[in-house]
Amino acid sequence: MLLYDDVIEEYRDFATYAAGDSPCFEEWALGVAEDDEVLAWLDTLPPIKRQPNLVLAAARWHGAPAPGSYDGLRRVLLEREAEVRATVMSRATQTNEVGRLATLAPVLGLLDGPLALIEVGASAGLCLFPDRYDYVWPPLGGLRGSGGPVLTAEATGALPVPERHPEVAWRGGVDLNPLDVSDEDAMAWLENLVWPEQDERRHRLREAIGVARREPPALRRGDLLDHLPDLLDEAAPHGTPVVFHSAVIAYLEEADRDRFHDLMTGLVAEGRCRWISNEGRRVLPAVTGGREVPSGRFVTALDGVPVAWSHGHGHAIDWL
């Protein structure tokens, strides 16, 4: 998804991203891109607050029927403008899609354990429990035995199907606004962020909240660039430190994305950690390296080197 770009192109790009996954959001995004009055309202928001996922979720929070027509969205945006604006300004798109673990687990399986996991942009920390899920990668195989929910990703290529679950000795994370899994309002907002037609994702989110509530993760509030070195020091005595993130770095300004890339490549070069990134195709250009990434796919990389193209919500993984 494009952020910090022309708002029309941002919404058109989001429509392409949503195509096939949410006909409602595809229609809404295309409608916004053609609606001068709504575009003018969006232009009054800070750039990071214009993002489609946030604006559409805020409209749903205040009554826009979804699935539903663009007219319903437009009516809520314009007639309940003050309420929608307040939600947009006070909330964030912390979807924390646990389904992405199905695309991260094969990468974790390449690392020597035990692992000390550090998630940057952790939201509620739902993705810090890769050892508590079972996995299926049709048609290439699966991994069972955790007793937890099953996550599935259609797979192509020579996917390294793990033989065992990762041994996680420590888990923690950092977020500007970490969410408490015991906070019902915060969890309701997370559920509201799930796209309208995706009942399976809603069910998976509820299961993930249940998993995390059994052992609430330790999350630190603050900027990832400030806290990451200290978190590495805390994690290192417990096992191989692994810094990972999914659909997070897009929310940084371009200069901070470059800072983050430089920080991570330096930490990897020093042997202080391994690095798993899972971001949109245009987010970390130095990682993507000019490769042609299929539309709608994330670049999943280990230590700055792409290993797979992955569906943004974890539905598929194409191993390179």
pLDDT surpassing 80 at residue 215? yes
With contact defined as beta carbons under 8 Å apart, do 212 and 127 qualify?
no
What percent of the chain has a predicted confidence (pLDDT) above 70?
98
Per DSSP bridges, beta strands 297-302 and 274-280 are antiparallel
Per DSSP bridges, beta strands 154-156 and 168-175 are unpaired
CB-based burial, 263-291: b 16+ in 10 Å, e otherwise:
bbeebbeeebbbbbbbbbbebbeebbeee
Mean per-residue pLDDT over the chain, rounded: 93
Mean pLDDT of 277-283: 93
Indicate the pLDDT class of residue 5, thresholds 50, 70 and 90.
low
Per DSSP bridges, beta strands 274-280 and 240-246 are parallel
Here the tokens at position 299 are 């670049």
Listed in sequence order, the residues at least 6 apart from 290 whose beta carbon sits closer than 8 Å to its beta carbon are none
pLDDT surpassing 50 at residue 4? no
Q: Dump pLDDT digits (tens) for 11-34.
A: 998 999 898 889 999 999 999 999
Whole-prediction pTM: 0.84
Indicate the pLDDT class of residue 219, thresholds 50, 70 and 90.
very high
Ordered by where they begin, the domains of the chain are 7-90 (no CATH), 98-319 (3.40.50)
- Edge-to-edge strands of the sheet including 240-246? 154-156, 316-319, 305-311, 297-302, 274-280, 240-246, 115-120, 168-175, 218-221
Q: Dump pLDDT digits (tens) for 51-108.
A: 999 999 999 999 999 999 999 999 999 999 999 999 999 998 876 789 999 999 999 9
Indicate the pLDDT class of residue 208, thresholds 50, 70 and 90.
very high
